Chain A
């Protein structure tokens, strides 16, 4: 049961195409996993459409004819065939089933690298306005406490992690900004998450500050 969803405002921005590509990817993956947000997205699409198509701007008759002629003469835009691509991800002897959005963009997932302790990371090539990573936390892993410069979205793809505030399971979506500080950990269960960030993490606690170079490795 998913208990942590994007806000209504975030869903509107997502549907309108106002969010960064990275955050949009995390939202789209949550929507794959969440029937409640699928329904919300369908409603919002309809609402936005009514709003945006509520007014008209008359085109010159001449332009209309020209444009239609150009359209009739155009060749079909290249078609994207969506085949159910390989949706399994293997890591550390475990297999994860990737939600549609990730499976479809599988070729954007870079190689896994071992970070520190029980943390692994695979960068996703998404865009220059955001940094997106798949992060795997084995059982009993801890990410040093940090705040965020900018907005960090985290989605649990599979497993469970906790921070000071709560525990999060498959499909949970968490959005944190610079006001929040947290240190995610896993306990009995491992956890695969998808995270997007639009600026480097800022580590705040004691020895972790020494890990600041690590943040640029972690989220670059």
Chain B
């Protein structure tokens, strides 16, 4: 820091203020995801690594472990930027939850057995997931498959086909999209429509 010229310092402050802006940071993440932009990543790194370092130092009180947490967190940001969903929260909250997961596992690593529950299994923030299935949990949580199966014959073929593959064959939406040769967006909208329809059918018969 002592070497930094006034101009550099000023630039860093400006960059930092810009990275504090959630939309700007989200845009950097999108660039990392789309083009593996090292420039965008280093901007994120310079903003978040010192925060992660402070967090980890408070948690562990051990500089090496703290550095490990910073590196592991930012490694995930580099490789998993595509999993950041702007509609689910800010980039900094996303990065914080990644760090929280890593901390959870580091704290348990030595004390416990190998097949203990890991943070990813509790909070699957880095799973390549079908987010719309979560959104529609309110349906599958309350309704028995038996009930669904008696109603889903009433769905249009295109929707039934998607629901069958996801809920019965256990395929991901991406896999359904690949196997049926239809866009992922279409799979998502058909799932959503089908679940909405099922919900109506079931409530109507309750």
Contacts and interface: CB of A to CB of B under 8 A. Distances in A.
Interface of A: 15-17, 21, 24-25, 28, 32-33, 35, 42, 45-46, 48-49, 52-53, 55-59, 61, 63-64, 67-68, 70-72, 74, 76-77, 79-88, 95-97, 99-101, 104-105, 108, 125-129, 170
Contacts of A83: 170-172, 175
A61 B133 CA distance: 43
B24 interface: no
Contact of B46 (A25, A48, A64, A74): A64
Contact of B112 (A24, A72, A97, A128): A128
Nearest to A81: B128
A81 B141 contact: no
Q: How large is the interface on B (under 10, 10 to 19, 20 to 34, 35 or more residues)?
A: 35 or more
B111 to A, nearest CB: 8
A218 B92 CA distance: 43
A80 B123 contact: no
Interface stretch (B68-76, B153-161, B178-186, B195-203): B68-76
Contacts, number: 169
B116 A95 contact: no
Contacts of B145: 88, 95, 97
Given A57-B50, A77-B76, A52 B96 contact: yes
B121 interface: yes
Nearest to A35: B138
Given A83-B172, A97-B141, A100-B137, A68 B42 contact: yes
